[in-house]
Amino acid sequence: MSLLVKVCGMTSKEDAAMCEEQGADFLGFIFHPSSPRNVDADFARSIKADGAKKVGVFVKQSATEVIETLKDGQLDFAQLHGGQNEEFCKAVGKERVIKVLWPQKYDSVKEFQADIDRFAPHCSYLLFDAGKSGGGHGAAMEFDVFKDVTIPGLWLLAGGLSADNLKEALSEAKPSGVDLNSGVESAPGKKDKIKLIAAFVVINQ
């Protein structure tokens, strides 16, 4: 199976089209007011993706709000990027959930594995991000953490990924896919065509 690619932080139709042109499988739309990449459901609905799935990124909304935004924004997936539990995932629907975990926040591999096992049955994809919370900050992680855990199903790797570190990330972490954001931008919310193409060159090698 070819590597899945999500590009997050869509803020313009031009960027969305550019990402699809390069081969993005997922386009991410962030619904978090404090983010410089924050958008609304009207904008997400205005993006008519040509094959790519549309993902809403949610942090503090209720399950009801997430479900409503998925409908209003014509989104395919909900990326749960806060402290949402299994019941929240069930409410949204396993088939629509991408659940985010932060490997660096755990004190032990055992604790990290426990949360992987806890959430895997309740989502379509797991996504592992750098840091201990949040996202889009450009921080990278140590990829060797993935050598000691078993991840059932498909999962995406995020956290400051760019053409500079993608080769190492793919080789060491061996994810099902990657989530690009700050590493392919010229400014928060503005995708850089040169950086984006460079990242896809590495991905397609």
172-201 pLDDT, tens digit each = 999 999 999 999 999 999 999 999 999 999
62-82 pLDDT, tens digit each = 999 999 999 999 999 999 999
Residue 156 scores a pLDDT above 70: yes
Angle between helices 13-22 and 193-203 (to 10 degrees): 20
Q: Is domain 4-203 annotated with CATH 3.20.20.70?
A: yes
Nearest to 197 by CA among 7, 2, 4, 65: 7
Here the tokens at position 102 are 């932060």
Rounded Cα distance between 60 and 82, Å, is 6
Model pTM score: 0.93
Rounded Cα distance between 102 and 158, Å, is 10
3-state secondary structure at position 15 = helix
Q: So where are the chain's domains?
A: 4-203
18-65 pLDDT, tens digit each = 999 999 999 999 999 999 999 999 999 999 999 999 999 999 999 999
Helices (H) and strands (E) in the chain — how many of each?
7, 10
Percent over 70 (pLDDT), the chain:
94
